[in-house]
Amino acid sequence: MPRLTKLSVAMLLAAAAYVQTAAQAADSVADRPLPSRQAEIDAIVKEISPQRIQAYVNKLVSFGTRHTMSDTSSDTRGIGAARRWIKSEMERCGAGRLEVRFDGHMHPVDGRIDRPTEIVNVVATLPGTQAASKDRLYVVSGHYDSRVTDVMNATADAPGANDDASGTAAVIELACVMAKHKFDATLVFMTVAAEEQGLYGSGDFARKAKANKLNIAGMLNNDIIGSSHDEHGKLDNSHVRLFAEGVPPLKEAPSPELRTLLVTGGENDSITRQLARHVKETGERYVPGFKVDIIYRRDRYLRGGDHSPFLDAGYAAVRFTEPNEDFKHQHQDLRTENGVKIGDYPEFVDPAYVAQVARVNAASLASLALAPAAPQEVKVRTAALDNGTDLVWKANAEPDLAGYRIVWRETTSPLWQGSRFVGNVTSARIDMSKDNVLYGVQAVDKDGNVSPATYPLPMR
């Protein structure tokens, strides 16, 4: 966690003089520093293979087109062959630990669907092993359908190497590597269809998840993560963009919770931005030299992605995308113009770069699934005028819980700047004004795994 550098010396001294509300001697881990890295997560990150990712991309491209309305009966061409191969590959590498299934629905004629079409996601689930955490889910996705210039052209070759065989390959690699390990919470590795036709595959999954009240605590979407060059040849293989929405679009009057968030200055403390901070901090810690650039937007201009239906369903969801896109290699008919090859060919995908993005995903997912859930019912007391801050929260249920950490930052800072571990208590006082900084509360387990922060709402 970055050190606090901009707050005044007086505030630093006040934070250092913090008095814990519970007996300090009650928990032996109260002052134990958190480990910087977990050996198991390091091992997972190191196992991600650019060579396997390249092979997955090439195999997906070999199906000619993966257009949502392309052939479903052939064993060698079309979206049907592609999804059957994805399922068989995850079954093979999952070695019985992954629960792999097709998740489909029949979609009617609608906009970019010109005939009733079965839309099928491939879903591989790695069940959590801790009773208190197994119903908490983390979803990682990429879309396996592809297109050319005409989004309705279901027969032309559409290799879709970057958009989005790159994300699909990353998800397959993550499933194969992480299936060898055990996690407290459940991981869902999903490749979805019909992204190009209107986010129909992810939309169906998100709607059903909401209807069934699934506890999806975070969703990571990987879409166009394959190129380290822009259209001018500029190289950037050390950054990835992470799009993270703050306040959702207001289609009706804001809810009381959203209104409170806005009134208290918490517009940058939505559950999605808390997830993004966690991903950035974890990813950069486990993948040295690689930077995660949080973009405070749902997505790019004129574009959309499979995280959007999850956001609309009320879940925390973010999107990974390469930093500099080359639009000659997206949504294009295959051709050569003035000696320039145009189209989404595999030769324009950098597997080493995809592997770096996959490593950030792996570290983030592992950290989230090993950590306790984010604290619930976090409140800040506002009944009296006070230059300090009193925080309270509901106790977590995990048996390996070590305690809680208070984090804070200046109101103009995007990232947490200071932190203090307060032990296994349900309230704490920080001698720093709630009027001057933004707070969060994180849960920490006995191995040092840390949850995303929860923003405190006011209570009297």
Domain range annotation of the chain:
9-32+374-459, 39-370
Whether cis (ω within 30° of 0) applies to the bond prior to 164 is: yes
Q: What stretches of 72-162 show up as alpha helix (H) in DSSP?
A: 79-94
Q: Which two tokens stand for residue 355?
A: 């592997």
Task: Give SS3 for 455.
Answer: coil
- Tell me the pLDDT tens digit for each residue of 217-248: 999 999 999 999 888 888 999 999 999 999 87
Report the C-alpha gap between 365 and 368 in whole angstroms.
5
Chain centre to alpha carbon of residue 283: 11
Q: At what angle do helices 166-178 and 351-370 cross, to 10 degrees?
A: 50
Superfamily the domain 39-370 falls into: Zn peptidases (3.40.630.10)
Strand partners for 124: 100, 189
Q: Which of 95, 295, 125, 123 is nearest to 193 (CA)?
A: 123
> Which sign, positive or negative, has the C-alpha torsion 318, 103, 69, 173?
positive
Output phi, psi for 279, to 5 deg: -65, -45
- Tell me the pLDDT tens digit for each residue of 52-95: 999 999 999 999 999 999 999 999 999 999 999 999 999 999 98
Strand partners for 370: none
Cβ neighbours of residue 266 closer than 8 Å, sequence gap 6 or more = 260, 438, 455
Residues 97-105: contacts with CB under 8 Å, at least 24 apart: 97/126, 97/179, 97/180, 98/124, 98/125, 98/126, 98/175, 98/179, 98/189, 99/124, 99/125, 99/126, 99/127, 100/124, 100/125, 101/125, 103/204, 103/205, 105/204
Mean pLDDT for all residues in the chain? 92
In order along its 460 residues, the chain shows pLDDT tens digits of 343 344 333 333 333 333 333 333 233 333 445 667 899 999 999 999 999 999 999 999 999 999 999 999 999 999 999 999 999 999 999 989 999 999 999 999 998 999 999 999 999 999 999 999 999 999 999 999 999 999 999 999 999 999 999 999 999 999 999 999 999 999 999 999 999 999 999 999 999 999 999 999 999 999 999 999 888 888 999 999 999 999 877 667 778 888 888 888 889 999 999 999 999 999 999 999 999 999 999 999 888 999 999 999 999 999 999 999 898 999 999 999 999 999 999 999 999 999 999 999 999 999 999 999 999 999 999 999 999 999 999 999 999 999 999 999 999 999 999 999 999 999 999 999 999 999 999 999 999 999 999 999 999 8
Length reported for the chain: 460
Task: Give SS3 for 172.
Answer: helix
Chain centre to alpha carbon of residue 287: 16
Strand partners for 78: none
Cβ neighbours of residue 318 closer than 8 Å, sequence gap 6 or more = 218, 219, 220, 221, 242, 243, 244, 272, 275, 276, 279, 307
Q: Which two tokens stand for residue 117?
A: 């079409």
**Architecture of the domain made up of 9-32+374-459:** Sandwich (2.60)
